[in-house]
Chain A
Amino acid sequence: MPRKEDLPHLTGTARFVGDVELPGMLHARIVRSPLAHARISSIGTGEALAQPGVAAVLTADDLPPATPPIPTRMFSQPGLERFLQQPLARDTVRYSGEPVAVVVAASRYVAEDAAELVELELEPLEPVLAVERALEPEAPVLHEEAGTNVAGSFVVEHGDIDAAFAAAALVVEERLAVQRHAAVPLEPRGLVANLDESGVVTVLGAAKIPHVNRRILAQLLGWPEARVRLVELHVGGGFGARGEFYPEDFLVPYCAVRLGRPVSWIEDRAEHLRACNHSREQVHELALALDGNGRFLGLRDRLLNDSGAYVRTHGLVVPGMGAALLPGPYRWPAYRCEVSHVVTCKTPAGTYRSPGRYEANFARERLIDVAAHRLGLDPVELRRRNLVPPTGMPYASGTNTDGHPVVYDSGDYPLLLEKACRRFDWDGLRRWRHERPGDGRRRGLGLAFFVEKSGIARWEYARVELSGSGAATVYSGSASMGQGVETVLAQVCADALGVAFEDVTVVHGDTASIPDGMGAFGSRAATLGGSAVHLAAESLRTRVREQGAPAPGETLSADARFESEDMTFPYGVHVAAVEVDVETGRVDIHRYGVAYDVGRALNPTLVEGQIVGGVAQGVGGALLEELVYDERGQLLSASFVDYLLPTAVEVPPVDVLITEDAPTPRNPLGAKGAGEGGAAAAGAAVANAVADALGVEVTRLPLSPERVVALAGGRT
């Protein structure tokens, strides 16, 4: 069913934050450190301030001295507080791009002119640019109070890992690495803040977690929450990066409050690549122990996660998720994952679609293929032999996230594997793979099986109103970044309330009209958001049945908070068939398929859209996207000329098979979230396919043309 959201976007009447113009509005420009690691000797603002049209130039000294650093909101750990970021750097800058000052002026052009005139006196310090270096005892320490560059560490384990490896008939071990890359939504970030006469600061351009961010902003301002209002407008993609609380999320409202004028800040692309959360830079020193029959005995991992210079608002979630879901759909009698979350002098890193899992799936599925190859076993058969059987559900995988045990709710993994092989004609692809195209290209086939998660952060709020005219309104604490939340929530409401889809309006993203909410991240909008709507709508329907329909002019409403202790676990298979030109290193994707069980697909078209979009990002990460730093800590991939997003030519057509064989018992809809499954195993599947094509061990992403040529034993 076509989406409710589309019309404004098609006609150009949508309202993104960059489209907002308020009377008297000023424009902010962030002054950013040009160096990766330095002491700030002085910041000269006089020349900038003297420019016509400049209203203010603020540094850390101009912020209230009690302004705390930006806190974590989840996945925290004692000690993490020593690695948090101040909205403006005070004595030390720790990454190139770190905010050191804000200029507010009459136009974006003037603000950019003035920002160049701010005089930064910096004493360079040695930048630490790799996790391995950061861990060396003699390496410079980024956060002196902490005395270490390890911001967080923990172990997730079950069973006796040493016994497992001692008993193994075969141990395969690799060091597997995923490169730094990022979500890069097409709309850069932006905010418009305005203080009204009643003393409330309204911030337009909120995203993802408006209620949480309102809480954080109020805390940083030292204000009661009632004086802070966050409003979502149209949002040009999030993918996990937009919506976390960044320095700008404090600075822009603070400027508006201090100057008593509306202030707009719209990020440009060069800034975005340096300043918005990076992600994915992770190393797995992974070892797999098997018995003589190809049964998995144990999985042992040392996971090194590059945090960038600070720990972001979502704490240790990225390596936490990785450690929790590294086991995947398989049975592991023993498991141990030792995590180190390490700071380096680079842009802080955070979540990006399937965070921690994209990396973990790459590592694990690669190693399983290596094991299959060593054992002379078919890689599909090796997996089949070790899948958690349907009779094992619900399955406690022996891991946990943020203190919560991971228990897979439902799943028939062997069935999905069988369906995927049939749908994507695995046997036919094997025959295709063994033919020689005759032009020197090599063919390869790769498969990856994974378990995803959805519905994190436990609750969501909804209120449903029915008016006498028959129109229904849903108020949801969820958030929209383009994924079709309004459509899905309207569907759920229509079904549960018994009204027509066309008669339902969905309101979200305004902390003033929705008292509370957790937002949209981790594929929770349909599951938690939808479940809350379902409960509220059902509750309202019951009232209507008992009390009668509302009279004209009357409105009946019901609200609900849906809570679930546990996440739900969709699961899937990616299949990739590739052709590799060993002279140039180009990897062409001949065929790509995703089979994904979502329990119940509330809107299959939207689910498919999410999967294909996820595959595009995952393929971009596998082949093209990389945030590269030079030896001084300068970001070289600083524009779309160098940071390569895939076009319609690089992204293959994707055959999507959505199954509903394992609805979840954990919410009234039976639905599991679909947002991340397309990205989750794309790195793994493409890597397995290329490794198969070249007959070599692929242990790193991206598979850039040069790396592929080198792997193929080429001339360079």
Chain B
Amino acid sequence: MTLRRVSVELNGRLVEATVEPRLLLSDFIRHDAGLTGTHVGCEHGVCGACTVQLDGAPVRSCLLFAVQANGRSIRTVESLAAANGDLHPLQQAFHESHALQCGFCTPGFLMTLEAVFRETDVTALADREIRELLAGHLCRCTGYQNIVRAVRLAGERMRA
């Protein structure tokens, strides 16, 4: 199988490697770039744990090949906190709302929500609509209730 050289902008830094075309982007992020905050829960696009942003849009990294990210920009959970360590309002809201237990699904949720918050005024949404936004991510620990609370809390703070 012919190897390919890829150059991917990951959280603002260029990561280069020579890879098999079949290498999944999720594995490239986790093992070639060493960013293990993105998790693998199913490898068929359902659970959402592997969600990252491709040019700002949330996508399943388990359904992309690393070669497809060549020349593109990827953002993962490690990019959310500020350089000085200050948490993104979403991270802070998750923490204060007890919106995570085992934490395995959390990075995926955060990467989807960060994009949602850029495009939508969450404070205008009903609970049902927030739950629909969250439905692309499975969580087995929290029962989602506190995640809804975290979204509300972050929404209020980010609007202020």
Contacts and interface: CB of A to CB of B under 8 A. Distances in A.
A648 B81 CA distance: 26
Interface in A625-644: 639-641
Given A617-B140, A640-B47, A645-B138, A10 B101 contact: no
Contacts of A483: 101-102, 141
Among B35, B47, B102, B141, the one with the most A-chain Cβ atoms within 10 Å of its Cβ is: B102
Contact of B140 (A237, A612, A615, A639): A237
A69 interface: no
Given A12-B76, A186-B47, A639-B42, A613 B142 contact: yes
B152 to A, nearest CB: 12
B139 interface: yes
A41 interface: no
A10 B103 CA distance: 7
Interface centre among A6, A481, A605, A617 (most CB of B within 10 A): A6
A420 interface: no
Interface string B18-53: 001011000000110011111111111011010000
Given A612-B145, A640-B138, A10 B104 contact: no
Interface stretch (B2-10, B64-72, B126-134): B126-134
B145 A482 contact: no
B143 A612 contact: yes
A6 B97 CA distance: 11
Interface in B107-160: 107, 110, 127-128, 130-132, 134-148
A613 B143 contact: yes
Contact of B135 (A3, A6, A234, A647): A647
Nearest to A655: B145
Contacts of B145: 612, 651, 653-654
A16 B40 CA distance: 11
Given A2-B96, A6-B100, A236-B102, A651 B143 contact: yes
Contact of A639 (B22, B38, B44, B103): B44
A123 interface: no
A612 B142 contact: yes
B80 A269 contact: no
B105 interface: yes
A609 interface: yes
A450 B23 CA distance: 50
A5 interface: yes
A550 B47 CA distance: 50
Given A10-B87, A609-B142, A616-B143, A640 B102 contact: no
Contact of B36 (A19, A109, A239, A482): A19
B106 interface: yes
B61 interface: no
A14 interface: yes
Contacts of B39: 16, 18, 186-187, 236
Interface residues of B, number: 59
Contacts of A269: 41-44, 47
Given A16-B36, A237-B104, A186 B138 contact: yes
Indicate the member of A12, A235, A606, A654 with the most B CB atoms within 10 Å.
A12
A615 B143 contact: yes
Identify whether the interface residues of B are mostly helix, strand, loop, or mixed. loop
Nearest to B80: A11
Nearest to A18: B40
A187 B100 contact: no
Given A12-B36, A645-B138, A484 B132 contact: no
A654 B131 CA distance: 14
A236 B110 contact: no
B142 to A, nearest CB: 5
A690 interface: no
Interface in A1-42: 2-3, 5-16, 18-19, 21
Interface of A is mostly: loop
A66 interface: no
A605 B140 contact: no
B77 interface: yes
Contacts of B30: 18-19
B131 to A, nearest CB: 4
Contacts of B130: 648
A644 B94 CA distance: 25
Nearest to B30: A19
B106 to A, nearest CB: 5
A622 to B, nearest CB: 14
Contacts of B146: 609, 612
A621 B96 CA distance: 30
Given A5-B103, A269-B42, A613-B143, A14 B135 contact: no
Contact of B22 (A12, A19, A109): A109
B140 A640 contact: no
A7 B80 CA distance: 12
A616 B144 contact: yes
B115 to A, nearest CB: 16
B104 A648 contact: no
Contact of B37 (A7, A13, A109): A13
Contacts of A109: 20, 22-23
Given A10-B91, A10-B94, A236-B104, A649 B46 contact: no
Given A186-B139, A609-B98, A651 B144 contact: yes
A268 B141 CA distance: 19
B142 A12 contact: no
A19 to B, nearest CB: 4
Contact of A234 (B103, B140, B143, B144): B103
B78 interface: yes
Given A18-B40, A645-B138, A678 B95 contact: no
Contacts of A654: 143, 145
A185 interface: yes
Contact of B102 (A19, A185, A616, A653): A185
A3 B104 CA distance: 16
Given A482-B141, A647-B138, A12 B44 contact: no
Interface of B: 20, 22-23, 30-31, 34-44, 46-47, 49, 76-78, 80-81, 87, 91, 94-96, 98, 100-107, 110, 127-128, 130-132, 134-148
- Please give me the 4 A-B residue pairs with the lowest Cβ-Cβ distance, nearest first: A12-B37, A482-B102, A9-B103, A236-B104
16 contacts: A5-B103, A6-B95, A8-B103, A10-B103, A11-B91, A16-B36, A18-B30, A18-B36, A481-B102, A609-B142, A612-B144, A616-B139, A616-B144, A640-B42, A648-B137, A653-B148
Interface of A: 2-3, 5-16, 18-19, 21, 109, 184-188, 234-237, 239, 268-269, 481-484, 605-606, 608-609, 612-617, 639-641, 645, 647-649, 651, 653-654, 678
Given A14-B37, A648-B147, 5 more contacts: A186-B140, A483-B102, A647-B137, A653-B148, A654-B145
